[in-house]
Amino acid sequence: MSPRPKESNNLRTSLLGFFIDKPYHGYELYQHIKKKTEFQKIWNIKQSLFYSYLDNFFIDGCLSKQIYEGNQFPDRKVYAITELGEKVFKAWITDPVLHGREMRQEFLAKLYFTIHNDSNSGLMLIDLQRKECQKWVASIKLEQEKNSSIYQELILQYRIMQIDAMIEWLGYVELNLIKTVPYN
């Protein structure tokens, strides 16, 4: 069994971002994400898991739920973000990810919402993420100093080069976002 969870609990927080603009019923939001957004390129979530997350957000107080009785169709649950949900989402979106493996999904999810809602907060997130990546490199370099095995050196150098590529990509993203930020 893998020591890593299959789905990141932090990534599920991204779903709250869709409720910032308007309430949704579950199926409507699921279809919106799958067919009308680029978000589905980051996270291909199963429908059953998606509904489970919505129910958990309701239980946790991040979403409110209103049930509309259906005459010719099943009752519909319409979810709306609560004040707590907005607070949780805003805290999540402003924090950098803490591991390189989280860049591929969780960081890209954060970037998705900052690009669509506020490019300035995207630029701040990129800066924080770059600093976090630099900490990772510094930590690996300290580990390199203690190392004596050639194989271990190869692994550590691979990780450094991988993180350096992430830092370079963050610079690329930053340049492209700067082009979209209006001047004050």
Could you tell me if 87 and 124 lie in one domain? Answer: no
pLDDT of residue 4: 47
Q: How far apart are CA 12 and CA 54, in angstroms?
A: 9
Domain boundary among 63, 97, 131: 97
Is the distance from CB of 63 to CB of 126 less than 8 angstroms? Answer: no
Number of domains in the chain: 2
Asked if the structure places residue 159 within a domain, the reply is yes
CA distances (Å), origin 67, targets 64, 70, 76, 89, 91:
10, 9, 6, 24, 29
Q: What is the pTM of this model?
A: 0.85
pLDDT tens sequence for the chain (184 residues): 445 444 456 889 999 999 999 999 999 999 999 998 899 899 988 999 999 999 999 999 999 999 888 777 778 889 999 999 999 999 999 999 999 999 999 999 999 999 888 778 889 999 999 999 999 999 999 999 887 789 999 999 999 999 999 999 999 999 988 777 654 4
Q: Supply the range of the domain harboring residue 81.
A: 1-97
Same domain, 49 and 91: yes
Examine the domain organization and report whether 148 and 92 are in the same domain.
Answer: no
